[in-house]
Amino acid sequence: MPKPKARSKNSEKKRDKNKRGLDRLHAFTLSSLTQEFNRLFAALL
């Protein structure tokens, strides 16, 4: 009985880690896009 429980807990932890990594990736992408947009905007002015 404890084995499947531990496995589900482990997969839950893994999923949480993946979600955190995706959030970090999204934040990085958003910030880099913002920087690129600011650079282009500054070049236009």
Instruction: Give tens-digit pLDDT for 21-32.
Output: 889 999 999 999
Cα 2 from chain centroid (whole Å): 31
Q: What are phi and psi of 15, to 5 degrees?
A: -65, -40
Angstrom distances, CA of residue 38 to CA of 16, 18, 26, 29, 35? 33, 30, 18, 14, 5
Structure tokens at 35: 């920087």
Q: What is the pLDDT of residue 3?
A: 64
Residue with tokens 């990085």: 28
- 28 three-state secondary structure: helix
| pTM, entire model | 0.52
Average pLDDT, the chain: 85
Show the low-confidence residues of the chain (pLDDT under 50): none
Strand spans (E) along 1-45: none
Q: What is the pLDDT of residue 17?
A: 87
